[in-house]
C-alpha cells in the first residue's frame, strides 16, 4: 500500500489513470441509460481538466521552489510527515513552498464567509422548495450533506493551517 501511495504521489500518469477510472465509474453510475462510449468520453474529459489543473499547480510550485515536479512531490510528502531537512538548500526550498501554501490558504480564508453564505442560501432555498412541494426528505438529506461538507472543509483547513504554521516555525528555528 505504501508503494502505491508513493507511486500515486509522484506520478502524474498514475494520477491520470486513477482519475480516468473514477470519472468513468462515476459517470456510469449516474448515467446508466447512456452508451458506455459516453461514459469513457466524459471520464476522459474529466481527466483532461483535472490533469491540466494539476499540471498548472505543479508548475507554479516548481517555480516557487526551484525544483522539478518530483522534487516538489517529495517536499510535500516531507511536509505532511513534518520532516525538516538538514540540507540548507532543501530547507530554503521547503520554506518557500510552506510560505507560498500558507499565503494561499490565508488569502482564501477571506472568501470563506461568502462561500458559506452562498451555501446557506442554497440550503434555505432547497428547504423552502421542499416545504412548498410537500417533499422535505431530499432537502433534509441535502442540508445534512452540505453541513457535513462544510464541517469537513473547516477541519481540513484548520489541520492544514496548523501543519503549515508548525513547519514554518520549525524551518525558521536554526537548530
pLDDT for 71 equals 87
Query: Per-residue pLDDT tens for 12-25?
Result: 888 899 999 999 99
> Which among 96, 62, 64, 77 has a CA at the least distance from the CA of 9?
77
pLDDT for 174 equals 63
Q: Average pLDDT, stretch 128-153?
A: 90
> Which among 125, 152, 151, 119 has a CA at the least distance from the CA of 138?
125
3-state SS assignment for residue 9:
helix
Round the average pLDDT of the chain to a whole number and report it: 90
CA atoms lying within 13 Å on the CB side of residue 66: 8
Q: pTM value?
A: 0.77
Query: Per-residue pLDDT tens for 53-105?
Result: 988 988 899 899 998 888 888 898 899 999 999 999 999 999 999 999 999 99
pLDDT for 90 equals 92
pLDDT for 153 equals 92
3 state SS for 103-139: HHHHHHHCCHHHHHHHHHHHHHHHHHHHHHHCCCHHH
Whether residue 175 has pLDDT greater than 70: no
Q: Average pLDDT, stretch 139-151?
A: 92
* In the chain, % of residues over pLDDT 90: 58
3 state SS for 24-86: HHHHHHHCCCCCHHHHHHHHHHHHHHHHHHHHHHHHHHHHHHCCCHHHHHHHHHHHHCCCCCC
Distance CA 171, CA 169 (A): 5
Distance CA 73, CA 15 (A): 13
**Sequence ranges of the domains in the chain:** 1-81, 102-175
pLDDT for 53 equals 92
pLDDT for 93 equals 93
Amino acid at each position: 500500500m505504501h508503494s502505491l501511495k508513493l507511486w500515486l504521489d509522484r506520478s502524474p500518469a498514475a494520477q491520470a489513470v486513477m482519475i480516468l477510472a473514477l470519472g468513468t465509474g462515476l459517470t456510469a453510475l449516474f448515467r446508466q441509460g447512456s452508451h458506455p462510449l459516453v461514459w469513457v468520453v466524459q471520464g476522459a474529459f474529466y481527466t483532461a481538466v483535472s490533469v491540466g489543473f494539476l499540471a498548472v499547480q505543479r508548475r507554479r510550485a516548481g517555480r516557487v521552489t526551484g525544483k522539478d515536479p518530483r522534487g516538489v512531490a517529495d517536499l510535500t510528502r516531507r511536509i505532511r510527515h513534518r520532516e525538516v531537512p538538514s540540507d540548507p538548500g532543501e530547507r530554503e526550498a521547503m520554506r518557500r513552498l510552506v510560505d507560498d501554501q500558507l499565503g494561499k490558504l490565508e488569502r482564501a480564508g477571506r472568501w470563506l464567509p461568502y462561500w458559506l453564505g452562498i451555501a446557506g442560501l442554497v440550503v434555505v432555498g432547497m428547504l423552502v422548495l421542499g416545504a412548498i412541494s410537500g417533499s422535505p426528505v431530499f432537502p433534509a438529506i441535502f442540508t445534512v450533506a452540505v453541513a457535513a461538507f462544510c464541517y469537513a472543509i473547516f477541519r481540513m483547513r484548520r489541520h492544514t493551517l496548523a501543519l503549515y504554521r508548525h513547519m514554518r516555525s520549525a524551518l525558521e528555528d536554526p537548530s
